[in-house]
Structure 1
């Protein structure tokens, strides 16, 4: 198994790749199953309506399609660029984007199947489920910012210490 030292931490690249690809495959499998089911149910619900679902709920459809396209783009980026070559923050942001966009698309389509009064409840449930992943991303971002601040602070302190040593060096009499 290969190991790489990234940001001073040893990381087992094969293990990390396996976990990321397993999670990505699970998300893709879930969306591959649920999206066609939702579309068939939406088609069935609006089959006898005089107006199409696009005319009845244009904003919801636009949100669903835009998020589905963003999901496909983020998933394509993750598929193209091996996650171990990205910074941990970038990889976490990419995974969060995939989850957020994929499941917001699902929530938007699912809201079409229920009465309009239930729409906000479906989005609240979606938001609560997304908070756990967002919490992990915020923690990763805070760790990254903290590490950057500490590195800069250490550089400044070292510079001040070197300046002080140079300034307070005793002068030898001639």
Structure 2
């Protein structure tokens, strides 16, 4: 076992797999872009075998062909002032100090086996919006229903901002 931290960081799961003589395969389709620091893209090997605690990221970015946006804000334990960034890539947990992410969508994996004698398993995902159908904004007097914003309105605003030439 090579303990050089520049080559690999051994998790307890990987150490257990070595003890059981379990081999893992390198999958080139697990290499994806992620954002290490603001405006700094890097490639990362994103696979549950070698990534010990991916959190909810496999549901947020299940593969690089599915679109998503994540708003990343500085966390409670951050030593820096509050900031918010939006990205369409897997963010590093310390992208800007500690951070918490709020995805526009989450994806649920569905596997279809097809007919009884089918050999190929086709993966599909169901996209779920994380914005409720309606958001009620209270006015200064806290009167209910002063403004109602729909999910469709928010999606249109985000889409316009993303595709704006003034970015």
TM-score class, shorter: under 0.3
Please identify which structure carries the higher strand content.
2
TM-score scaled to structure 2, two decimals?
A: 0.23
TM-score scaled to structure 1, two decimals?
A: 0.22
**Larger Cα-atom Rg:** 1
Q: Quick one: higher RCO (CA 8 Å, sep 6+), 1 or 2?
A: 1
Please identify which structure carries the higher helix content.
1
